[in-house]
Amino acid sequence: METITSIKPLLAVLVSLLVTPMLVSSRNPNVREGWTFLAAFIKLAIVASMVPAILQGTEIVYTVAEVFPGVAIKFKVDAFGMLFALVSSTLWIVTTIYSIGYMRGLNEHSQTRYFCFFAIALSATIGVAFSANLLTLYLFYEMLSFATYPLVAHHQDQEARSSGRKYLLYIVGASIGLVLPAMMICYNLTGTLEFSKQGIFTGTEPHATMLVLLLMLVLGFAKAGIMPFHSWLPAAMVAPTPVSALLHAVAVVKVGAFSVLRVLTGVFGIDLLASLNLGTVICYIAAFTVITASLIALSQDGLKRRLAFSTIGQLSYIVLGVALLSPKGVIGGMTHIAMHAFGKITLFFCAGAIFVATGKKNISEMVGIGRRMPVTMVAFFIGSLSVIGLPPTGGFFSKWYLVQGTLQADQWPMLVVLLSSSLLNAAYFFPIVYKAFFCTQEEAMFEDRIEEAPLWCVVPLVITAAGSIALFFYPTLFLKLAELATR
């Protein structure tokens, strides 16, 4: 495994931080949006420029500063981090296009603040993706928590206030209350926090300590939405839809899942977990979340809330995949980060477009909307296919690998969990699409003319829906990265 030193990871993180003063001082909204696009494209360019090296198996490192003996603020770009970074930086561009349409379409206030914190949040996300050790990851994780708070609480009304509180309580409470002590205990035991294939432990530590540490770290990264630390996600739906899209697809929950995966693969290591038989515990916790979340999703009428619970379930798919400790499972879990991102962001864009065009938030009010907004609803259909895991969408591949992973690990209960939750996913997605397109003249709530949301909203969701289909035909990039990560 060759290692190159390059300042590119730091630059990728800093690009959106450095653009923030430009955003604040822009007089003209178009100039401001122009700066955001510029930063997004530069970020994607820097990230993409590192892909060839990663595909050959090299890792890129950069040390910013050593802060404790044996621990530094350090970046390391490896295959897994690259996968996540690619997803985030690509989707940021799309989300920015969408944000413009949404925020201007609704004439929202404080748009500069919105775009600023969005940029900072992306900076933190790439920071997490490229973290070389647990301390750096923790640093950027916290930065993301605090940077997304003003976004979640954007509307500044009572609802936003209580949701903001819940958001902070769960996420910051779990990270300071669980991750920080666990990280310190790890450092005290081993003297290092670097992510590596063999993990940081020597295998001689008492089993109970390992179990407690594992639980503290997995549950402590509450952004991964593992029950019981999931309630912040439905509450955070009070935010504007592009923020929800950011939360669910681009950054926040993916950061949570990514962090948990790093803990499982980099801090403990697949082999140690297998030898201590700790994977099963995590499997069952994740499986519980998958089933419960899918069941709750069935009962939700608010479209965004249903999508929120769907995300909670899907995140635990990712954790479950890795907790199976089999190579196929790990590939499935990692690939699902990418596939789910594209699928979910499409769904959220559709939900937002519906709100902008018609003002409707509840599924029961969306009967017959397919005639009014056909493009949107077709995209919704494609997005839901991806999340359920059916061809011709990219989600099929990740689900396929997950199923194979359960077989490889001889975990039959998990196979049942996966298949039944896919059925549940279908159960809460297909009725929406069906009711949107196929309904009688009396049931239809909308007039029979086509009136989509503004172009700025529709184009992104078409792009991401097309992306979901494209990932079915060209999944190699993400599959290769995931496969490199497991080697």
Instruction: Give DSSP secondary structure letters for 405-436.
Output: HHHHTT-HHHHHHHHHHHHHHHHHHHHHHHHH
30 lies in the site for other proteins, by CB under 8 A:
no
215 lies in the site for other proteins, by CB under 8 A:
no
Tokens read off for 387: 């999340």
Choice from 4, 45, 184, 298 touching other proteins (CB under 8 A): 184
135 lies in the site for other proteins, by CB under 8 A:
yes
Instruction: Give DSSP secondary structure letters for 285-317.
Output: HHHHHHHHHHHHHHH--BHHHHHHHHHHHHHHH
Report in angstroms how near the CB of residue 177 gets to other proteins at its nearest. Answer: 6
Report in angstroms how near the CB of residue 92 gets to other proteins at its nearest. Answer: 23
| Residue 3 or 156 having the CB closest to other proteins | 156
| Residue 21 or 391 having the CB closest to other proteins | 21
Provide Rg for the chain, Cα atoms. 21
What is the spatial order of strands in the sheet that 3-5 belongs to?
3-5, 59-68, 71-77
H or E, element range at 74: strand 71-77
Q: Are the beta carbons of 330 and 486 closer than 8 angstroms? A: yes
| Residue 57 or 228 having the CB closest to other proteins | 228
What single-letter DSSP state applies at residue 362?
A: B
What count of Cα atoms within 13 Å lies in the side-chain half-sphere of residue 209?
Answer: 14
21 lies in the site for other proteins, by CB under 8 A:
no
390 lies in the site for other proteins, by CB under 8 A:
no
Tokens read off for 146: 């605090």
Choice from 61, 180, 375, 419 touching other proteins (CB under 8 A): 180
Choice from 27, 28, 69, 359 touching other proteins (CB under 8 A): 69
- Whether the ω angle into residue 228 lies within 30 degrees of 0, i.e. cis, is yes
Of 59-67, 322-330, 396-404, 408-416, the window that binds other proteins (rule: CB under 8 A) is: 59-67
The partner residues of 74 in beta bridges, in order of sequence, read 63
What single-letter DSSP state applies at residue 224?
A: G
144 lies in the site for other proteins, by CB under 8 A:
no
150 lies in the site for other proteins, by CB under 8 A:
yes
Of 162-170, 333-341, 360-368, 479-487, the window that binds other proteins (rule: CB under 8 A) is: 162-170
Report in angstroms how near the CB of residue 451 gets to other proteins at its nearest. Answer: 23
Residue ranges in contact with other proteins by CB under 8 A? 65-69, 73, 107-110, 135, 138-139, 142, 146, 150, 153, 155-158, 160-161, 164-165, 168, 172-173, 176-177, 180-181, 184-185, 187-188
